[in-house]
Amino acid sequence: MSHEPLRHRMMWIPLILVSLAGCKHIPDVDRHFQRSAALETVRYFRYAIDASQYDAAYRCLSETTREQISALAFQALIRFVDVPQLDDLGLRDLLVDSSIDDGVEVPPGGGQDRWITLIWSSDEQYIEYSLRLQPGLNQLWEIELLATRGVDLTGTP
């Protein structure tokens, strides 16, 4: 009995698996996250960056930020800029791999702005940096990306 037909069929399995892997779809950010709260907006922003949905991430930015950074420049910053103070860690990795402090900070004196703190750590460094958010149009929160603050809590110069 010849095993030729079976061997011929087995040769197609890797091709089918590769084809199926190429069809994997990353869920759209709008299906899983909302921007009606400051903390949820940061989660939306990070997911969009991680999923390479840069247009959605760009829409999270405040009008002031969008006036100073074009959509193309934003995408280039996220994809290609490294942070020298963090051993050339990519900006994308910094934003996506940080953990989120669930506490939402109201600035002293009140106001509508909020600060959300992200925490990035390695064996050498522990850094907390915060994104400033403000309510925008249609009750959606926006990130003022050009107004961040951060503290290196390891004491390295």
Domains of the chain: 4-152 (3.10.450.50)
* 124 contacts 106 by C-beta, under 8 angstroms: no
Determine the Cα–Cα distance for residues 115 and 105; give it in Å rounded to an integer: 5
- Tell me the per-residue pLDDT of 59-70, one tens digit each, with 9 for 90 and over: 999 999 999 999
Structure tokens belonging to residue 24? 């994997």
Q: What is the pTM of this model?
A: 0.77
Q: Please, what is the end-to-end C-alpha distance for the chain in angstroms?
A: 75
Which residue positions in the chain have pLDDT lower than 70?
1-26, 151-157
Residue whose pair of structure tokens reads 């698996």 in the numeric block:
17
- Tell me the per-residue pLDDT of 24-53, one tens digit each, with 9 for 90 and over: 556 777 777 888 999 999 999 999 999 999
Determine the Cα–Cα distance for residues 35 and 138; give it in Å rounded to an integer: 10
Structure tokens belonging to residue 52? 């390479």
